[in-house]
Chains A and B, each alone.
Chain A
Amino acid sequence: MTLNRTITPLITDAVSFNLQLKKCETYNLDNGVPVYSMNAGAQEVLMIEWVFYAGNWYEQKNIVAATTNFMLKNGTHKKTAFDINEYFEFYGAYLNRTCYNETATITLHCLSKHIHELLPVVAEILTESIFPEEELNIYRVNQKQRLEVNLKKCDFIANRLIDEYVYGIHHPYGKYTSTLDYDQLNKEELIAFYEKFYKEGNCTIFTAGQIPADLSTALNKWFGHLPFQKKDITPIQYIQQPATEKKYHIINDPAGVQAAIRIARPFPNKHHPDFQKVQILNNIFGGFFGSRLMSNIREEKGYTYGIHSYIQNHIHDTAWLISTEAGKEVCAPTIEEVYKEMQILCNEPIEEDELSLVRNYMIGSVLGELDGPFQLIARWKNYVLNEMDETYFYKSVELIKTTSAEELQELAKKYLTPESFYELTVI
Chain B
Amino acid sequence: MIEYNRFVLDNGLTVLVHEDQATPMAVVNVLYDVGARDEQEDKTGFAHLFEHLMFGGSVHIPDYDEPLQRAGGDNNAYTTNDLTNYYCQLPAQNIETAFWLESDRMLSLAFSEKSLAVQRKVVCEEFKEHYLNKPYGDVWHKMRELAYTVHPYRWMTIGKELSHVENAHINDVKAFFFNHYRPVNAILVVAGNVKTEAVKQLAAKWFGPIPMGEKYIRNLPQEPKQNEARKLIIEAAVPVDAFVKTWHMDARLEKGYYAADLLTEILGGGGSSRLYQAIVKEKKLFSNLDCYHFGSMDGGLISIEGKLVKGVTMEQADSAITEELDKIKETLVAENELQKVINKTESVIAFEDMSVMSRASSLAMYELLGDASLMNTELNKYQEVTPNDLHHYANDIFREGNSNTLYYYAKQ
Chain A: residues with CB nearer than 8 A to chain B? 3, 5-6, 8-12, 14, 17, 41-45, 73, 81-82, 84-86, 89-94, 109-111, 138, 141-142, 145-146, 148-149, 151-154, 253, 255-258, 288-290, 298-305, 325-327, 356-358, 360-361, 363-365, 367-368, 370-372, 374
Contact = CB atoms under 8 A, between A and B. Distances in A.
A85 B93 CA distance: 45
Contact of B71 (A43, A145, A364): A364
Given A257-B128, A360-B72, A364-B72, A290 B281 contact: no
Nearest to A256: B133
Contacts of B51: none
Nearest to A17: B91
Contact of A90 (B23, B70, B121, B339): B339
Given A11-B70, A14-B72, A138 B281 contact: yes
Q: For chain B, what secondary structure do more than half of its interface residues adopt (helix, strand, loop), or is it mixed?
A: helix
Given A92-B348, A142-B287, A290-B65, 18 more contacts: A3-B209, A9-B96, A42-B20, A85-B271, A90-B339, A138-B281, A148-B239, A152-B135, A255-B237, A288-B69, A290-B66, A302-B118, A326-B125, A357-B66, A364-B71, A367-B91, A368-B25, A372-B355
Given A3-B206, A5-B61, A142-B287, A302 B119 contact: yes
Most chain A beta-carbon contacts within 10 A, residue among B66, B69, B133: B133
A305 B90 contact: no
A257 B284 contact: no
Contact of B272 (A9, A85, A303, A305): A85
Given A360-B70, A367-B24, A300 B347 contact: no
Interface string B116-149: 0111111111101100111110000000000000
B277 interface: yes
B74 A138 contact: no
Contacts of B271: 73, 81-82, 84-86, 89
B161 interface: no
Given A89-B271, A149-B307, A302 B281 contact: no
B270 interface: yes
B107 A5 contact: yes
B118 A361 contact: no
28 contacts: A5-B107, A9-B97, A11-B97, A12-B94, A45-B347, A45-B354, A86-B271, A86-B340, A89-B269, A91-B343, A92-B344, A92-B347, A110-B347, A111-B346, A138-B280, A142-B280, A145-B288, A149-B239, A256-B133, A288-B69, A325-B129, A325-B133, A361-B73, A364-B72, A364-B74, A364-B90, A365-B72, A365-B74
Interface of B: 20, 22-25, 59-61, 65-67, 69-74, 89-91, 93-94, 96-97, 99-100, 103-104, 107, 117-126, 128-129, 132-136, 205-206, 209, 237-240, 269-272, 277, 280-281, 284, 287-288, 307, 309-310, 336, 339-340, 343-348, 350-351, 353-356
Contacts, number: 211
B74 A368 contact: yes
A374 B354 CA distance: 10
Given A111-B350, A290-B66, A368-B74, A302 B134 contact: no
B133 A45 contact: no
B73 A364 contact: yes
A42 B240 CA distance: 46
A289 B347 contact: no
Contacts of A43: 350-351, 353-354
A39 B289 CA distance: 37
A361 B74 CA distance: 8
A305 B132 CA distance: 14
